[in-house]
Amino acid sequence: MSNETRRFPTGADEDVELSKGEIFDVLQNQRRRYVLEYLKRYDEPVGLSDLATQVAAWEYQTPVEEVTTDQKKRVYTTLQQTHLCKMEEAGIVEYDTEDNTVARTPYTEELTVYLEIVPGSEFPWREFYLSLGSISCAIVAALWTGLFPLTLLTPLEWATVIAATFTASAAYHTYSGADMQLGDDEYVPDEFER
């Protein structure tokens, strides 16, 4: 993994510099990812109570109205004591302990890139496109040399096949990856699906 660092303003005199490893460390927890997912929907600061209720609803895969007091309290306590402090130290959110509100920072949206990681069970698309490109180059080279049976189709027909394959692959990749923000195994209610 690269040691590349990113600068995140904290509102103080100096920005926070985080490496990719530190960003992944902060975002490895599902609750913190849910916090980001919730904050993306609001321009204004949100109350910790409302945030905890929604995160509990996602975690327990239940409507907000059916979240129990105990479920909300468990989430509220860990957000307040652990997660929000860590996220604020990293410059990812602004957490006002006096008002018990949480707000996005100018760089909260930038971190969504790090949430779009290919889950372990998903096909590695970059390898697929590399393979597809290599096969296409091999076909073109074989056509230049007149290698049979590739000469059964004209170069224009091969170009059509290659272009159609890339287009279909990209369309499928785009469609299948549209809801990968939180990962396939994480519940997001219908009202929040993209």
How does pLDDT run across 141-181, given as a tens digit for each residue?
Answer: 988 898 888 889 998 999 999 999 999 988 888 877 655 44
Per-residue pLDDT, 105: 84
By the 8 A CB rule, do 45 and 96 touch? yes
Alpha carbons 166 and 133: distance in angstroms, whole number: 9
For residue 103, which of 45, 150, 151 has the smallest C-alpha distance?
A: 45
What pLDDT is recorded for position 116? 56
| pTM strictly above 0.75 | no
Tens digits of per-residue pLDDT, 112-138?
A: 666 655 444 455 677 888 888 999 999
Instruction: For the chain, give the longest Cα–Cα distance.
Output: 76
Q: How far apart are CA 75 and CA 163, in angstroms?
A: 50
Check: CB of residue 125 under 8 Å from CB of residue 173: yes
- What is the token pair recorded at 46? 């949100």
Residue from 21, 87, 25 nearest 55 by CA: 87
- Tokens read off for 168: 């279909």
